[in-house]
Structure 1
Amino acid sequence: MSAPLINVDHLRELLYRLKYMNLNATHEETFENVQKDSLPAFLPNHSPQFDRAEENLLMSPGYPESVESLQCISRKVFVGGLPQDISKSSLLQKFCAYGQVRLDFPSEPTHPPRTRKADRRLSTSGYVFLIYETEEAVFNLLKACSFRDGSYFLPFHEDSMNVKLAQVRPWQLASITYIPNIDAMIDTRLTVFIGGVPRPLTSGELAALLEQNYGPLLYCEIDVDPELFYPKGAARAVFASYSSYVKAIRSRYLHIPNVEFNKRTVEIKPYTMDEILCDECLEAAATHFCRVCMQYYCEACSIRMDHSVGSHLDVITPAAKSPTEHDFDLPNNLLERLAECSI
């Protein structure tokens, strides 16, 4: 089955609602109904573009049955399962056959290799990222691969007798967002930030893990760089109920049961935005969050609560605010690229 298409108008509308909805709601206003674990209300259809046609739902796809069914892909490609003793020069010779390419290793050496032995150690991690100059080059690579059980494989000859299959994982731009219901009312205060996400992991795969462990999601987005539209190792997700949100925040870490990724644990933190007010004084901007009482505090209130009530000793200070953690907008050029692909 080919990947469902993304409707750009739907995506723009949802991102607008994510950015401006409930940002200054008080703790009581935000959670007055979710204590009963009721699902958020649904918005009425505003126009014909909000139909429920399956092809317009923003679902993270599985892998396509053929290269031709791929539409928008990143110029950056993950290749795993490489022979342990293969050299950088051999890899470059292998992959430049499909187009001009640059190799991005997980841990580049600070000094250039001086010997053939040092050159061979570059690939001991078993995987590499390819950065091609054009999308056409990526398609050329995929056409050279065999396709089996939803994955692409490229043969490497270890010696005259043995052949090792390396997995090639293209990144589809449709894998950036997972939205099971476009009409769902999103509450930004039920949002978590997820750090240390393995970069080949799609939004749909991450959403499945979160839902399995904590409960239903309304939105999941993989953070991507604005040039290559490839994952940067972070994500954010919005839960459908307060209890699921609390469970996720208090767990703090989530194990990823997949031997394909070297990093198997992600960190879950509260997703804080500049506009959120202190739940105690309802005046100053929140700067702290407590995992125990699940409330936001300004600097003054956090100090007072920390010294007066023992249960507030777990107050945490979110990391320095950055676009990675605190910006819900997808890059404009990504939306334009999706439109160009008629997604």
Structure 2
Amino acid sequence: MGTIPYVDRYAIFVGGVPRTTTAMELAQLFQQVISGVVEVTLEVERHTNYPRGSARVVFGTREAYLVALAMGRFTLFTLRERRILEMRPYVLDGMVCEICHEAAGIYLCPELPCMLYYCVPCWFMAHQNDDMDDHKPVSRRTLGLLKGWRQNQTLCRYGNCMPSGYYYF
């Protein structure tokens, strides 16, 4: 089984990107807001190479990845417009279960306490507690169910809360 390079593990999907924004500009924005950016890829139309308005941002650390997902969205002001960028986990194929490290990790738990890839047996073992009833597995097939996921979340680290906010670029 071919596995995804580990650095791609910390990839997020960013929707609502202005079509005139370059990958370098988006990388600089995320570096200023969150830091730890390793790679930014803009999604383009197959036949025209015209930007779709979405991107994939890869972070170098789990902490930066979790901060981005905890923010969920932020408002970007440009000279011409105001856009709300939405950030969700980028679900990868070919991952190995992060619990047993043996089977294919076909499910991603999108809840912030977890955010791990699981095989089916490890999913049930890890999520048997009553306080995890609201955790729903996500795979490439169920990705559409994440629409509107984690709106207005904040991540508190070291006693400082990082709210969803407004950023000028």
Tell me if both proteins adopt one fold, taking TM over 0.5 as the criterion.
yes
Let me know the Cα RMSD of the aligned residues.
2.8
**Offset of residue 313 of structure 1:** 3.8
**Is this contact kept in 2: 1:288–1:298, CA < 8 A?**
no
Larger strand fraction of residues = 2
Q: Is the alpha carbon distance of 1:293 and 1:299 closer, same or farther for their aligned partners in structure 2, counting shifts above 3 Å? A: same
Q: Give TM-score, length-normalised by structure 1.
A: 0.36
Cross-structure match for 1:125: none
Q: Is the alpha carbon distance of 1:281 and 1:228 closer, same or farther for their aligned partners in structure 2, counting shifts above 3 Å? A: same
Cα deviation, 1:288-328, whole Å, max 9, x if unaligned, reads 22322231123443344333262574445255389xxxxxx
Q: Is the alpha carbon distance of 1:321 and 1:313 closer, same or farther for their aligned partners in structure 2, counting shifts above 3 Å? A: closer
245, 248, 267: which is aligned to 2:68?
Answer: 248
Using the aligned pairs only, state the percent identity.
26
**Residues 137-156 of structure 1: pairs in structure 2 closer than 5 A:** none
11, 24, 36: which is aligned to 1:216?
Answer: 36
**Secondary structure at 1:193 match in 2:** strand
**Offset of residue 244 of structure 1:** 1.1
1:207 equivalent in alignment to 2:49: no
Q: Is the alpha carbon distance of 1:299 and 1:194 closer, same or farther for their aligned partners in structure 2, counting shifts above 3 Å? A: farther
Cross-structure match for 2:85: 266
2-structure distance, mates of 1:245, 1:312: 24
1:275 equivalent in alignment to 2:94: yes
59, 68, 81: which is aligned to 1:239?
Answer: 59
Q: Give TM-score, length-normalised by structure 2.
A: 0.68
**Is this contact kept in 2: 1:192–1:271, CA < 8 A?**
yes
Tell me the number of residue pairs that the alignment of Structure 1 and Structure 2 aligns. Answer: 140
2-structure distance, mates of 1:259, 1:312: 44
Q: Is the alpha carbon distance of 1:316 and 1:269 closer, same or farther for their aligned partners in structure 2, counting shifts above 3 Å? A: farther
Cross-structure match for 1:294: 115
14, 28, 51: which is aligned to 1:194?
Answer: 14
| Bigger Rg over Cα | 1
**Is this contact kept in 1: 2:35–2:64, CA < 8 A?**
yes
Q: Is the alpha carbon distance of 1:286 and 1:203 closer, same or farther for their aligned partners in structure 2, counting shifts above 3 Å? A: same
Larger helix fraction of residues = 1
1-structure distance, mates of 2:64, 2:115: 12
Q: What is the one-letter code of the residue matched to 2:45? A: D
**Offset of residue 285 of structure 1:** 3.0
Q: Is the alpha carbon distance of 1:257 and 1:240 closer, same or farther for their aligned partners in structure 2, counting shifts above 3 Å? A: same
**Residues 168-183 of structure 1: pairs in structure 2 closer than 5 A:** none
Give ranges in structure 2 of 5+ residues lacking alignment. 144-169
**Is this contact kept in 1: 2:98–2:105, CA < 8 A?**
no
Q: Is the alpha carbon distance of 1:284 and 1:309 closer, same or farther for their aligned partners in structure 2, counting shifts above 3 Å? A: farther
1-structure distance, mates of 2:38, 2:92: 19
Cα deviation, 1:127-168, whole Å, max 9, x if unaligned, reads xxxxxxxxxxxxxxxxxxxxxxxxxxxxxxxxxxxxxxxxxx
2-structure distance, mates of 1:252, 1:279: 23
**Secondary structure at 1:307 match in 2:** coil
**Offset of residue 235 of structure 1:** 0.6
Superposition misfits of 4+ residues, deviation over 6 angstroms? none
**Is this contact kept in 2: 1:280–1:297, CA < 8 A?**
yes
2-structure distance, mates of 1:260, 1:237: 24
**Is this contact kept in 2: 1:306–1:313, CA < 8 A?**
no
